[in-house]
Amino acid sequence: RAHADLEERLAAFMAPHAESPQALYFCTGYMANLAVVSALGGKDAVIFSETLNHASLIDGIRPARSHIEIYPHRDVAVLKEKLKACDAEIKVVVTDAVFSMDGDIAPVKEIAALCEQHGAWLVIDDAHGFGVLGENGRGALEHFGLKSPNIIYMGTLGKAAGVAGAFVAAHETVIEWLVQRARPYIFTTAGAPALAHALLTSIDIIDSEEGAQRRDHLNALIAQLKDGLGGMQQWQLVDSDTAIQPLIIGANEAALKVAASLNDEGIWVPAIRPPTVPVDTARLRITLSAAHSKEEVAQLIAALTRLERLSGKEDPA
């Protein structure tokens, strides 16, 4: 009953953005992605995958045994050409909504229109959008005011929702297909009912006035950080409007050194290096949360400004 209540609540919450949606709860987002991509694919299908997609989507493609077409980052024109040239009966486009290492957002609206035009499914991984994007926290689809029968939406519940697990929201026929065919759903034990109860409270908070205040606060922190670091000389903030705000440092050692200096001041920001990101784009992956305060973000800005000045002095290049 606890799982059913949660799935009904999630389906109702996502209803403004989906055609008669049902929701299916998974123990993790990794398994949800594995389930959706592998169950929708198959030998007769072609899967169109964006180049910066999360590893869990990529891992779902292999067991699907489908033909794969990779399209460049946010490149709708290339995707369009690829879809046009494809005469497979089953086409599946797969993309992150918010990219986890860059924080930028996929052009989901344009991609959804293409999918409708070409009869393709669109699998959206909204791990970093659900709970934070959109006025009511419904994620990327609300952010874009989007509703499409072709969309299969995956939101995770261990990030903004603060507990664990994930869900897929899609047309009831798609959900029934997953229940019958998705091995990562069928061959594992369901998450504990206690988690489902906790998640019902998470959705209540996301859907409340308090949730809206937290989103407003988070957006104010994002603006504060962008304002404070936007004018840096050597280091560059990636163009992102989400809570993921990467600061490109460049060299691996330099990024590690800045992360260590911040750590000494009690600020934890992980340094992300190749091969997770391209060579020479080692970065600090700053992730803001509604639990941070304005004072803390000001402290981070001051520390980074000072460290950038110091690094310039030590390295005459």
Ligand X SMILES: *Cc1c(COP(=O)(O)O)cnc(C)c1O
Q: Which residues are catalytic?
A: 100, 128, 159
Query: By C-beta, is 54 or 215 nearer to ligand X?
Result: 54
Binding mask 8-47 for ligand X (x = CB under 6 A): --------------------xxx--x--------------
Binding mask 200-219 for ligand X (x = CB under 6 A): --------------------
H helical segments located in the chain? 2-14, 29-40, 55-64, 76-84, 108-118, 140-143, 172-181, 183-186, 193-206, 209-229, 252-264, 294-314
Least separation, in Å, of the C-beta of 78 and ligand X?
A: 21
> Whose CA is closest to 84, among 52, 48, 36?
48
Q: Is 143 helix (H, G, I), strand (E, B) or coil?
A: helix
Residue 133 interacting with ligand X (CB under 6 A) = no
Nearest residue relative to ligand X (C-beta) = 29
Let me know: does 179 contact 24? Beta carbons within 8 Å. yes
Least separation, in Å, of the C-beta of 98 and ligand X?
A: 7
Let me know: does 41 contact 177? Beta carbons within 8 Å. no
Residue 166 interacting with ligand X (CB under 6 A) = yes
Residue 158 interacting with ligand X (CB under 6 A) = yes
Q: Furthest-apart CA pair in the chain: how many Å? A: 65
Residue 127 interacting with ligand X (CB under 6 A) = yes
Residue 125 interacting with ligand X (CB under 6 A) = yes
- Consecutive H or E run containing 90: strand 90-96
Q: How far is CA 200 from the centre of its chain?
A: 21
Figure out which of the listed residues 3, 9, 17, 54 binds ligand X, where binding follows CB under 6 A: 54
Q: Which two tokens stand for residue 207?
A: 């859907």
Residue 195 interacting with ligand X (CB under 6 A) = no
Residues that bind ligand X (CB under 6 A): 28-30, 33, 54, 56, 96, 100, 125, 127-128, 156, 158, 166
